[in-house]
Structure 1
Amino acid sequence: MDTTLRDGEQTSGVSFSASEKLTMAKLLLEELRVDRIEIASARVSEGEFQSVKNILEWASERGFEERVEVLTFVDGGLSLEWMQKSGAKVQNLLTKGSLNHLTHQLKKKPEEHFKEIAEVIEQAGAMGITTNVYLEDWSNGMRNSPDYVFNFLDFLATQPLKRVLLPDTLGVLTPNETGNFISQIVKRYPEIHFDFHGHNDYDLSVANVMEAVKAGCHGLHLTVNGMGERAGNAPLASVVAVLNDFLPEFRINVQESSLFKVSKLVSAFTGFVIPANKPIVGDNVFTQTAGIHADGDNKKNLYFNDLLPERFGRKRKYALGKTSGKANIQKNLQELGLTLNDEEIKKVTARIIELGDKKERVTKDDLPYIISDVLDSEGYQQKVFVKSYVLTHAKGLKPSTTVCVEFEGESIEENAQGDGQFDAFMNALRKVYRSKKKSLPNLVDYAVRIPPGSNSDALCETVITWQDGDKEFATRGLDSDQTVSAIKATEKMLNII
């Protein structure tokens, strides 16, 4: 059962609109093919009521009513009336699964609680509503008041309900405890269908789910991207992969190929960012960064495991940066349909490592620009060096630049102002050349671009066209800073002339 729309919505700052809930319900049941969805808590708000009504109208047209569930409360039938008006057919009744909760929150005796639960279940049956029962704080109940839990289950075994739902409400269970507790319960009540509802406070939810399944539980409650209160719930994508790969005797209907698509959509709806290193759906999990790994992928897939990205509608990527090797670059070149010789690859690798030291991320889209920059540098021998510079830009003051150029073995420093930082740089450079009784070409065109789809940390390519007498030529510079890329293009021009 996916409970993204109910328990996942308890993620701090997350609230789905009615239309988003309907869209998600359709995707979860038809695209992902989960067995059931829990979509709301009864009596929360008018907006929640409308969203449940919309989903049930759609579900009833497809015969899905029994697959759509709503959290309800022991409240004298008020939740059931709310459900009936909305069209919902399955209630997940919240009850107290630990003596601690019963004593201190409800301040009731077990017999009183059980009597009220029986009345709600009877009323639901008369209204044609199916009942599942949540034992809230069940995990602490098994730890601290097992006699109460077994007494409760003895009572529930006499009731006309469909499932008993066992939540680790506070995310406190260890895998060993999960397996032990569920094994005891399943053996003692072989006729009851039990679901396990795991939380992730200790990052143990997936391991707990594995042990719950091995111990004989019959259903699991999961959320897309592990959304939920505090550290969230057991994440759907990870659990699906674990069940398929490590417990294949348990067949499930969930479509792996749709997991990533639905994960991204939920992230967009909620603003709940998926960590880059989150298994299955994170941006980095199918990205090889180290060159040795890419090399191993070329040699009998030495760094592959069973989590092939194609299973989840994704592709393997090879990152470019300071740990990249030749193999990473070749993989990206193949994808772009480009071919370089060994010497050129060596130069491109060195340039990527240099850029990676300055910039967190070099992308595949940057690669043609880097190649162009490297190959463009092969046409001259460097004799002029822009050794250092200071660029200033302050509100109310003209930009200024101090530049130091090494020219014919001599370092010359000049300062100038200009209409912008690069204009100030060029004015300072002209002073340097005038001191050597030399002139510079005229700048006739200046074009800046970043790779398509890139963002503010993208590499920036500046192409400057110069006119030197009758001759026109262009130079390019590449850097993550626009002005610096223009200075690099200018340094190339100085060496060409």
Structure 2
Amino acid sequence: MKANETFQYRPVTMNENNHLLQIEEHMYILDDVQKPNVFRNMFPYSEIPKIPFNDRIVPHNMPQEVWITDTTFRDGQQSRAPYTTEQIVAIYDYLHRLGGPNGMIRASEFFLYSKKDRDAAYKCMERGYAFPEVTSWIRASKEDFRLVKEIGMKETGILVSCSDYHIFLKLKMTRRQAMEHYLSVVRECLEEGISPRCHLEDITRADIYGYVVPFCLELMKLMEEYGISVKIRACDTMGYGVNYPGAVIPRSVPGIIYAIHTHAGVPHELIEWHGHNDFYKAVTNSTTAWLYGCSGVNTSLFGIGERTGNTPLEAMVFEYAQLKGHLNGMDTTVITELAEYYEREIGYSIPPRTPFVGRNFNVTRAGIHADGLLKNEEIYNIFDTEKFLNRPVLCAVSNTSGLAGIAHWLNTYYKLRGEKQVEKNSELVARIKEWVDREYAGGRVTVMTDEEIVSCVNDVCEELGITLIS
């Protein structure tokens, strides 16, 4: 080194993934600020939150394997009446069937606070399924760690809130105090031989490089020391995450996942995204997390969860299929069985227009759409919903259905195929339409029920001397 060369240069190495030379990334250390950084420029509170851009783009980095995890029995129970033990076990059985032989629904988390919670966890573990693995979510205490170990669980979630909103304003700590406290709790968990899943609450309002990355680096050191996996769950607690390229962190989902994987060195398979739907972005953000390096996406059935809910599990099943080109063994017909179980046994009313599971998700009322369906259902159906969900595309009969809508309803309801199908210009369809028109001319404002239409069909068929046979 020459006398005037005093700067220590970082080494240049070959990146084996893109085969380009790169300089080793800067090691990020804790920025132990004296006052909380609440990103008031992005979250003014008295105004709508802002989405600024700096056009810093990070690369797609989708892992070879991605999967779904479930929080129906944890976050899902925080926003509704608790499930009974029997209901939990039944739903768990459905999740096992839905996930298929390759365990696409990798894990499901349970509370352990009450005897009912523990009984449910025990009964699900007794099923002996490899997937979904039964995991827990507990308070950060030695007593709870021992409880997890006694039950026989290998993994538990631990709350490690990471924004200054939580660290300063809720916990009344500094960043260093919070980090040291969290690390001591994680160490206690590892001492019990339990794999911790660290829930980084409120990550979309956290200082990513001043706190999150330094904290994750310390967690990776503990993982190396104990030889036990430490998972990172990035929790978009308030739904502030966005998927837009070039958006500023901490709102940028790509930026968060990139930082955790690339700069904190957390392997893909140990990163999990947990999203909320406050700004209608839960599904998009979860998919984005997959695309940028996160293997696990945490979900709940039908999106039931705190406030506006979590990422719907059923949505990510179809996101996976669209990204990968296959279902990897998942049985999507179970989704319909689950929806029916919720309405029949639990008394939960699914909003009728909910994608994939709502009563009307593939039902059309427009006559012009019905005409297209009658000619070829691909024109107005998202995919073969009868094959994947046991839900044939339907036409509701109303004042806007027209002849085509009625014909399509008859063919679907009576499962008429080929030459047995009813044409829209048939006498049967014309007579039913006359009845429908009279109903609405008389002031009716509701859609016809199946029972009403069947009664009319029976009367007209008897008058015409015909029978509808599939």
Distance in 1 between the 2:349 and 2:230 partners? Answer: 36
Distance in 1 between the 2:458 and 2:92 partners? Answer: 49
Question: Partner of 2:136 in structure 1?
Answer: 70
Distance in 1 between the 2:345 and 2:175 partners? Answer: 42
CA drift at 1:251: 6.4
Listed one character per residue, the Cα deviations across residues 393-431 of structure 1 (whole Å, up to 9, x for unaligned) are xxxxxxxxxxxxxxxxxxxxxxxxxxxxxxxxxxxxxxx
Question: Partner of 1:205 in structure 2?
Answer: 282
Question: Partner of 1:129 in structure 2?
Answer: 194
Distance in 1 between the 2:385 and 2:140 partners? Answer: 46
Structure 1 residues 115, 363: CA separation in 2 closer, same or farther (over 3 Å shift)? same
Equivalent residues of 1:18, 1:48 under 8 A apart = yes
Structure 1 residues 113, 330: CA separation in 2 closer, same or farther (over 3 Å shift)? same
User: Identity percentage over the alignment?
Assistant: 23
Question: Partner of 1:49 in structure 2?
Answer: 118
CA drift at 1:236: 1.1
- Selected match of 1:36 from 106, 113, 118: 106
1:310 aligns with 2:377: no
Structure 1 residues 216, 253: CA separation in 2 closer, same or farther (over 3 Å shift)? farther
1:258-407 counterparts in 2 under 5 A? 258-300=334-376, 301-306=378-383, 308-334=385-411, 335-336=413-414, 342-356=426-440, 358-371=444-457
CA RMSD of aligned residues (A): 2.7
Equivalent residues of 1:52, 1:88 under 8 A apart = no
Q: Secondary structure at the match of 1:118?
A: helix
Question: Partner of 1:172 in structure 2?
Answer: 240
Question: Partner of 2:14 in structure 1?
Answer: none
Distance in 1 between the 2:346 and 2:384 partners? Answer: 27
CA drift at 1:280: 0.6
Distance in 2 between the 1:50 and 1:294 partners? Answer: 50
Distance in 1 between the 2:349 and 2:307 partners? Answer: 15
* Paired letter, 1:124: C
Structure 2 alignment gaps of length 5 or more: 1-68, 224-228, 245-251, 465-470
Equivalent residues of 2:161, 2:202 under 8 A apart = yes
Question: Partner of 1:25 in structure 2?
Answer: 92
Distance in 2 between the 1:253 and 1:5 partners? Answer: 24
CA drift at 1:367: 2.6
Q: Secondary structure at the match of 2:169?
A: helix
* Paired letter, 2:336: F
Distance in 1 between the 2:321 and 2:463 partners? Answer: 52
The number of equivalent residue pairs is 369
Equivalent residues of 1:69, 1:90 under 8 A apart = yes
- Selected match of 2:159 from 79, 91, 94: 94
Relative to total residues, which structure has the larger strand share, 1 or 2?
1
Structure 1 residues 125, 70: CA separation in 2 closer, same or farther (over 3 Å shift)? same
Distance in 2 between the 1:309 and 1:364 partners? Answer: 19
- Selected match of 2:218 from 137, 150, 155: 155
Equivalent residues of 1:57, 1:87 under 8 A apart = no
1:207-222 counterparts in 2 under 5 A? 207-222=284-299
TM-score, normalised to structure 2's length? 0.71
TM-score, normalised to structure 1's length? 0.68
Q: Secondary structure at the match of 1:132?
A: strand
CA drift at 1:323: 0.9
Equivalent residues of 2:362, 2:381 under 8 A apart = no
Listed one character per residue, the Cα deviations across residues 215-263 of structure 1 (whole Å, up to 9, x for unaligned) are 1211100111110011110111122212312x12696553222111123
* Paired letter, 1:288: T
Structure 1 residues 194, 139: CA separation in 2 closer, same or farther (over 3 Å shift)? same
CA drift at 1:375: 7.7
Q: Which has the higher contact order (CA 8 A, sep 6+)?
A: 2
1:437-476 counterparts in 2 under 5 A? none
Structure 1 residues 231, 267: CA separation in 2 closer, same or farther (over 3 Å shift)? farther
* Paired letter, 1:362: M
Question: Partner of 1:16 in structure 2?
Answer: 83
CA drift at 1:91: 0.6
Listed one character per residue, the Cα deviations across residues 423-477 of structure 1 (whole Å, up to 9, x for unaligned) are xxxxxxxxxxxxxxxxxxxxxxxxxxxxxxxxxxxxxxxxxxxxxxxxxxxxxxx
* Paired letter, 1:136: E
Question: Partner of 2:467 in structure 1?
Answer: none
Q: Secondary structure at the match of 1:232?
A: coil
Q: Secondary structure at the match of 1:91?
A: strand
Distance in 1 between the 2:203 and 2:166 partners? Answer: 10
CA drift at 1:187: 2.4
CA drift at 1:299: 2.8
Listed one character per residue, the Cα deviations across residues 174-194 of structure 1 (whole Å, up to 9, x for unaligned) are 222222322333222344321
Q: Secondary structure at the match of 1:54?
A: helix
Listed one character per residue, the Cα deviations across residues 333-374 of structure 1 (whole Å, up to 9, x for unaligned) are 334368687344223212213324515121343234224556
- Selected match of 1:188 from 255, 263, 286: 263
Structure 1 residues 164, 294: CA separation in 2 closer, same or farther (over 3 Å shift)? same
Listed one character per residue, the Cα deviations across residues 116-148 of structure 1 (whole Å, up to 9, x for unaligned) are 333333333343322211101111114xx6411
Structure 1 alignment gaps of length 5 or more: 379-497
Question: Partner of 1:229 in structure 2?
Answer: 306
Structure 1 residues 270, 368: CA separation in 2 closer, same or farther (over 3 Å shift)? closer
* Paired letter, 2:162: G
Distance in 2 between the 1:180 and 1:106 partners? Answer: 26
Distance in 1 between the 2:143 and 2:171 partners? Answer: 18
Structure 1 residues 16, 35: CA separation in 2 closer, same or farther (over 3 Å shift)? same
Equivalent residues of 2:109, 2:136 under 8 A apart = yes
CA drift at 1:278: 0.3
* Paired letter, 2:308: A
Q: Which moved more, 1:300-309 or 1:204-213?
A: 300-309
CA drift at 1:311: 1.1
Question: Partner of 1:113 in structure 2?
Answer: 178
CA drift at 1:112: 3.3
Listed one character per residue, the Cα deviations across residues 56-86 of structure 1 (whole Å, up to 9, x for unaligned) are 3333xx455x8211112323x1221221233
Distance in 2 between the 1:57 and 1:119 partners? Answer: 32
CA drift at 1:202: 1.4
Question: Partner of 2:26 in structure 1?
Answer: none
Listed one character per residue, the Cα deviations across residues 16-56 of structure 1 (whole Å, up to 9, x for unaligned) are 112221222222123444433333234x2222222222223
